[in-house]
């Protein structure tokens, strides 16, 4: 890998792993010393992390690790839902080939097997995350719009906005199977709407599906043990109650 990619991966891991705290200043020279790479790739990596929203430029120079309010996380999830909704609407209006629909149905069948298992292990949830990602990417691809694919990917890359952003938090909750079952039903319903060329219905289901992630966020924030399963959770500022 190039030094820029190496620096980017290492910095991202330090932030999401909690070794760099929200508000902590990151100067180029300090990062160079910590990572042992030259200044140019560090500068590029910090600029990329700013694009991703994990750091922000500060007036005195350099960057600082960002913190995220619950409202910001909710807005990021909502934005992803709006774009995904538009994408599936386009897919329904254009029509999807039986072959591509069959591939996504096969993915859902694999998720069905996971959800129906007597016990859900940590490995099961990790596999669910992988399959969920495959399904969402394949769903957006049905729109046959490179621009839409790009914009949905950018929205999903916002901190905590991905479709599986809070799935791992459910692994330690007793209602995990119930939530996964709801998500899977929504997956199936949106695919049926696309196949039936019901654009408005597909869009509404997809936006509601994104709201399930917001519910998962609320559940995670109410359960410290569950929240610890979320990578980067230390960056989320808890809402203060009176």
pLDDT digits (tens, 9 = 90+) for 35-52: 999 999 999 999 999 988
Using CA atoms, how far apart are residues 220 and 150, in angstroms rounded to an integer? 29
Domain ranges of the chain: 3-66, 69-237
pLDDT range class, residue 186, cuts 50, 70, 90: very high
User: What integer is the mean pLDDT of 75-103?
Assistant: 96
CA 188 centroid distance within chain: 20
Using CA atoms, how far apart are residues 9 and 205, in angstroms rounded to an integer? 35
User: 45-50: long-range contacts (C-beta < 8 A, 24 or more apart)?
Assistant: 45/4, 45/7, 45/8, 45/11, 46/11, 48/4, 48/8, 49/8, 49/11, 49/12, 49/15
pLDDT at 242 over 60: no
pLDDT range class, residue 241, cuts 50, 70, 90: very low
Q: Specify whether the backbone of 23 is left (phi greater than 0), alpha (psi in -120 to 50) or beta.
A: left
CA 29 to each of CA 36, 50, 92: distance values in angstroms, whole numbers, following the listed order: 10, 17, 51
Same fold, 3-66 and 69-237: no
Using CA atoms, how far apart are residues 55 and 104, in angstroms rounded to an integer? 36
Closest Cα partner for 143 from 186, 190, 209, 110?
190
At 1 the pLDDT is 58
User: 57-61: long-range contacts (C-beta < 8 A, 24 or more apart)?
Assistant: 58/25, 61/27
At 119 the pLDDT is 86
CA 229 to each of CA 174, 202, 224: distance values in angstroms, whole numbers, following the listed order: 15, 31, 9
The three-class DSSP label of residue 237 is strand
Using CA atoms, how far apart are residues 52 and 239, in angstroms rounded to an integer? 23
Average pLDDT of the chain to the nearest whole number: 90
Give the CATH fold of the 3-66 domain: Arc Repressor Mutant, subunit A (1.10.10)
In this structure, whether the domain defined by 69-237 belongs to CATH 2.60.40.10 is answered with no
Q: What percent of the chain has pLDDT over 70?
A: 98
Q: pTM here?
A: 0.83
Q: Are 228 and 18 in contact (CB under 8 A)?
A: no
| Choice between 95 and 227, residue whose per-residue pLDDT is larger | 95
């Amino acid at each position: 890998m190039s030094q820029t990619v190496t620096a980017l991966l290492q910095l991202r891991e330090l932030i999401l792993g909690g070794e760099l705290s929200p508000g902590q200043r990151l100067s180029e020279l300090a990062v160079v010393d910590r990572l042992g790479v030259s200044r140019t790739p560090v500068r590029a990596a910090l600029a990329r992390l700013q694009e991703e929203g994990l750091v922000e430029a500060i007036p005195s120079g350099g960057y600082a690790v960002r913190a995220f309010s619950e409202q910001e996380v909710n807005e990021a999830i909502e934005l992803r839902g709006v774009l995904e909704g538009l994408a599936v609407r386009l897919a329904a209006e254009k029509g999807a080939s039986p072959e591509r629909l069959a591939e996504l149905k096969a993915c859902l069948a694999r998720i069905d097997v996971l959800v129906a298992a007597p016990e859900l292990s940590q490995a099961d949830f990790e596999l669910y995350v992988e399959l969920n990602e495959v399904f969402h990417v394949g769903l957006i691809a049905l729109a046959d719009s490179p621009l839409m694919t790009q914009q949905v990917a950018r929205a999903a890359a916002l901190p905590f906005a991905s479709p599986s952003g809070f799935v791992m938090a459910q692994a330690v909750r007793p209602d995990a199977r119930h939530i996964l079952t709801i998500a899977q039903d929504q997956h199936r319903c949106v695919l049926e709407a696309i196949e039936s060329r019901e654009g408005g219905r597909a869009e509404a289901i997809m936006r509601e599906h994104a709201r399930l992630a917001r519910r998962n966020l609320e559940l995670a924030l109410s359960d410290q043990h569950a929240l610890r399963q979320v990578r980067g959770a230390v960056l989320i500022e808890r809402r203060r109650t009176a």
